Structure 1
Amino acid sequence: MSSSSLLPLSADQIARLEQLVSELAPSQVAWLGGYLTGIGAGGAVGSAQQAAIAPAVAVPSVTILYMTQTGNAEGVANDLAAALKAHSIPVVLSDVAEFSAKKLKSVGYLALIASTYGEGEPPDTGEDFYNAVMGDRAAKMADAKFAVFGLGDSTYEFFCKLGADFDSRFEALGGTRLLDRVDCDVDYDDQAAEWVTTLSEKIAAEVAAAAPAPVSALSAIPASTQYDKKNPFPAELSERILLNGRGSHKEVYHIELSLEDSGLSHTPGDSIGVVSQNSNVVVEALQGAMGWSGTEDADGSPVSDALKLTYDITSLSPQVLEKYNAFAQSDTLTDLLQAEKRSELMDYIYGREVIDIVTEFPVSGLAPADLVGCLRKLAPRLFSVASSLKAYEEEVHLTVGAVRYCSHSRERLGVCSTFLADRVDIGDRLPTYVHANKNFRLPADPSAKMIMVGPGTGIAPFRAFLQDREADGAAGDNWLFFGDQHATTDFLYQLEWQRFLKSGLLSQMDVAFSRDQDHKIYVQHRMQEHAAQLYAWLQEGAYFYVCGDEGNMAHDVHNTLVDIVAKHGGMAVDAAEEHVKNLQRDKRYQRDVY
């Protein structure tokens, strides 16, 4: 028997009810719930106008703010909004970039989901809000009840710094903490779900105690199947092509996945999440170092399965070392874990994996369940969408650089990149989902100019951008900067760029192949060579995009952009920095960096 057959409504009635509810504001849904409850309790079926005469109880709203670079914080914010709406509590949901910090003085309930980016920095769109809240003229929050959820990556030194900053600052401004702050690593889904449930139920209980109101029963209507991070779609690997020529030191693949019958839709600028597995080679090496056969129990499954499918065994974090040292009791680790040794600890972690610590600091007889209890969950990996649905229906293309290197006398393998390169065959199905990124989007105006900087695999989203513009017949000029090591072996998608140049879709392309001459040349050098033209494009309203390595390239490109604006705009460096920030605020300077 289907779940829908258990409902006392026909399919047509459910469809009409869903249509009505979709058009209502939260307060209207709450009123409708009360109206129907009154009828169900035996009241007369009067007109809606008569029912509306009864005074409505004001339900306080919850302000949900998120600051995000890749969309994770926004996803948690959306989940919280849905949970609160299920309790008939209205919400104000906003990116901090679109919310004035001055409004915090009038907020009742506040939930902030904050991603810490890079080395303790706010996301590009969150810098102004962060500075306003931390500044001397920040609004007082005496009437606010707040909760903060922090997202970060514990392999970085300033893990979840922004969440901690906001949490302490809100309290200092007079706010009352609803829940203790939660700091989450890359495997945040379970903690996020628990936090959403706990916070929404706590707020609902407070609201009900102050003014009891009926709860809508509309959540009983079954939703159609949707594929997302919690329920990924099994996409078929339909193509894999090595893009580099013979003799290259790089290994970059063009990957095609079929989305047929998934209902999934992606937009240029989005990413695709791929749920991967650890390499058998890495798993077996770790099992061998521990003296396990692989059949031992670990968290309810054989340890070989747990290490391959569930846990991150190729990266370390201070939290992992701290948990492991509870068993190892190593003086060396204890010293490294001291707060004043943070920099040395991060240097130690860099380039090491779980097998390194269990061999360097062995624990005799350590149970598999105890070891996996120290580890982070294996998180999906995100890859920029490299195709437009307008050019390739029901499929998505990715540009994946296989990561292989040697450190501390061991060969290392990128988990998902080598999974896609080596360990899946054409026709195999991979759990995937669309990860929306509203902070990296094509200009709404098809006549607007675009400047795109994408060295290496950072070229991926711009392939999608140009395919989309070609399909739409967009009139805007497009300028692409690309860089890699050698022109003869590493000119990714060369024939496609040549076709776009010939058709006029691509107005200009400047390339930087760093190893083709005695001195290294990078994309920022090409920008400087065309500085006057680049500045002129910006003055004409061009959008500026950067995708690729955050560690060096993105910083160098940013500094070069500021330098160009200063020199050709006749500005001091501080004024040029502010000009570039204004481009970011206006979403004319967007970055997708990792």
Structure 2
Amino acid sequence: MLAPSYLPESKQLLATELVDGLESNALSWLSGYFAGVAQGRQFSARPAAVPVAPPIVAAVAGTSTAQQLTILYGSQTGNAKRVAESLAEQAGGHGLNTRLVRADSYTTRELKDEQLLYIVMSTQGDGDPPDDSLSFVEFLSSRRAPKLPQLKYAVLGLGDSSYPIFCGIAQRIDARLQELGATRLHEVGTADLDIETVALPWQETAIEEARKVLKQSEDAPIASVTPLHPKAGKTTRDQPFRAELLLNQAITGRDSSKDIRHLEISLEGSGLRYQPGDALGVWPTQSAALVDQVLAIQNLSPDESVTISNTTRSVKEWLGQHRELTQLTKPFLVAHAELAQSDELKTLLQPEAIDDFRALLETRQLVDILKAYPACWSASALVKTLRPLTPRMYSIASSQTVVDEEVHLTLANIAYEYEGEARWGAASRFLSELDEGDQLSIFVEENPRFRLPADSSRDIIMIGPGTGVAPFRAFVQERSTAQASGRNWLFFGNPHFSSDFLYQTEWQQALKDGSLNRLDLAFSRDQSDKIYVQDKLLENAGDLFDWIQGGAHIYVCGDATRMAKDVHQALLQIAQQEGGFDAAQAKEWLDELAAQGRYARDVY
């Protein structure tokens, strides 16, 4: 679109350069900013905050830094980002001078001057910070962090109570800010996967506290705010699209220990768009057999009505479509231990038993606990204590430029036995049992931190063992269609070549036609010594370092607990071996790659 003719030609060029390449949220922010300028308002707009600002950040004329609310967020999958944007939207709507900034865009030297800081932080893995917050957390934890007697703050953590350490990073940040002399305005919020249950009341109180600190009167004018939330009819997490399954195909051999599926789903009529690196959210339903087993153990009538928050359903419907049954959570276990009066279970919940507690979470499900530690739950109490069922996120395995109104997934069907009884993952079982023509509820989750380079001449290095290869199928499809000149190098691993080489024929064709330049494989069980992708990285250390120093982007997708950490250590070792760095320099080198967006991880 051309700039209006009433702009001088030089300004037209500046305006074009300004908006080129900006994402929609940044463009919306600029719209609000310039509207404010036209009305004579002043905005506090620090450059670091602009790329991640919400659609409108309200400011009060004549305010100083001391009269500003800074909202800092760290997000792995986008949930913390959405909550932080909502918080900024509310603050702006109340006329508070507010800025929103992602943790890796925050200039840490500003911390000593902050007066009011709200932190929204998701938990990665077992109590760790998300990738975009590693540097901020490291600085805050170090001796370089300043004393903060002038700072008032609040922390909201997002986590998953099926992990032993729930919202661990939020608790650590809160404790550290206390050590540095800051004043806590509001208790730490710890939101489970049903985020709004905790996040919404936390936000309301936090806004009231901010109004007091910034001394805003109750009759201060409320700014006009552009809604962050989608209009009715738009597909979202809470308004998913009912899509048709087109294909459900096993892509592992009969003798494989894994059951991995390739799914193709129709997007016809949805209007959904996605980019390589994004995720697809899927709302599962529980197995009817599992629901019946829970009801039988507790001797509950499936038709008994239960009302929660003015919503009435049968207990069978609550358990089948709205409650988590395959993942244990600490809040449920605490309540069950008390109801069952089980000293054994109470002992497992103590901090000193963290390893045994972790093993319990990894090996047992709800029915195991109900049978091992009998207790008499009422239908209402059981439904209220169990965590709400939440969608599962899957890395998208297709490029929309290639598959058009479809989306593809690579699914590992989780199934095992515990004491001779079948156990499974709720979503993987739900998806693997769908037939072609069946419907499922889906939505797209953007992942802007896991994107192909804007410069298509850049090389990319993709590290994705197992189902972690999914987004890289999308990457190669996209780069091939766009005729990108940059080279593509894939590292893939799985147990066996003969039965576990996912998308084998596609990769072989990609090598043949040049859309994949290098492929290194690590089949861990095909020889006496186990070989993993990190071993292949070290084996190719010289070429790998040359690619990276030449501007290549590195992407890692898959298991966060072991693989991603081992790959990270391998990259540090390569930096020392090939670059001549010491340990500190190697870490700084890799941190800088991450800060530049050239080292990105999609791990879970």
Task: Please classify the TM superposition score into its range, dividing by the shorter chain length.
Answer: 0.7 to 0.9
Task: For 1:303 and 1:180, locate their aligned partners in 2 and report how far apart those are by CA, in whole Å.
Answer: 34
- Pair 1:575–1:183, CA change in 2 (3 A): same
Deviation, 1:430, is 1.9
- Pair 1:264–1:199, CA change in 2 (3 A): farther
Task: Name the counterpart of 2:299.
Answer: 291
> Aligned match of 1:407 in 412, 415, 418?
418
Name the stretch that deviates more: 445-454 or 205-214. 205-214
C-alpha RMSD over aligned residues: 2.7
Task: Name the counterpart of 1:15.
Answer: none
Name the stretch that deviates more: 213-222 or 289-298. 213-222
Alignment of 1:87-486 (within 5 A): 87-204=94-211, 209-210=216-217, 212-216=219-223, 223=231, 225-299=233-307, 300-364=312-376, 366-422=377-433, 424-486=434-496
Structure 2 residues without counterparts, runs of 5 or longer = 1-26, 42-59
Structure 1's consecutive aligned runs of 4 or more residues displaced over 6 angstroms after TM superposition are 19-22, 218-222
Alignment of 1:72-83 (within 5 A): 72-83=79-90
Task: For 1:218 and 1:68, locate their aligned partners in 2 and report how far apart those are by CA, in whole Å.
Answer: 23
Task: For 1:236 and 1:406, locate their aligned partners in 2 and report how far apart those are by CA, in whole Å.
Answer: 31
Deviation, 1:201, is 4.7
**Aligned-partner SS, 1:591:** strand
TM-score by length of 2: 0.85
Asked if the contact 1:119–1:158 (Cα under 8 Å) also holds between the matched residues in 2, the reply is yes
Q: How many residues align?
A: 554
Asked if the contact 2:250–2:261 (Cα under 8 Å) also holds between the matched residues in 1, the reply is yes
Is 1:575 paired with 2:585? Answer: yes
Identity of aligned residues (%): 39
Task: Name the counterpart of 2:19.
Answer: none
Task: For 1:486 and 1:591, locate their aligned partners in 2 and report how far apart those are by CA, in whole Å.
Answer: 25
Asked if the contact 2:520–2:536 (Cα under 8 Å) also holds between the matched residues in 1, the reply is yes
Task: For 1:516 and 1:337, locate their aligned partners in 2 and report how far apart those are by CA, in whole Å.
Answer: 40
Deviation, 1:190, is 2.7
**Aligned-partner SS, 1:377:** coil
Is 1:497 paired with 2:507? Answer: yes
1:63 partner amino acid: T
Cα deviation per residue 1:163-199 (whole Å; 9 max; x = unaligned)?
1122233334343333211112222233223323333
Deviation, 1:465, is 0.8
1:399 partner amino acid: T
Deviation, 1:31, is 5.2
2:282 partner amino acid: V
Task: For 2:216 and 2:469, locate their aligned partners in 1 and report how far apart those are by CA, in whole Å.
Answer: 55
1:278 partner amino acid: Q
> Aligned match of 1:64 in 60, 68, 71?
71
1:501 partner amino acid: L
Task: Name the counterpart of 1:48.
Answer: none
Name the stretch that deviates more: 304-313 or 578-587. 578-587
Deviation, 1:583, is 2.0
- Pair 1:326–1:573, CA change in 2 (3 A): same
TM-score by length of 1: 0.87
Deviation, 1:439, is 2.1
Asked if the contact 1:86–1:219 (Cα under 8 Å) also holds between the matched residues in 2, the reply is no
Task: For 1:529 and 1:206, locate their aligned partners in 2 and report how far apart those are by CA, in whole Å.
Answer: 57
**Aligned-partner SS, 1:249:** coil
Structure 1 residues without counterparts, runs of 5 or longer = 1-18, 34-54
- Pair 1:449–1:173, CA change in 2 (3 A): same
Asked if the contact 2:68–2:214 (Cα under 8 Å) also holds between the matched residues in 1, the reply is no
Task: For 2:131 and 2:99, locate their aligned partners in 1 and report how far apart those are by CA, in whole Å.
Answer: 22
Cα deviation per residue 1:234-266 (whole Å; 9 max; x = unaligned)?
222222222123332221111122223323221
- Pair 1:552–1:207, CA change in 2 (3 A): closer
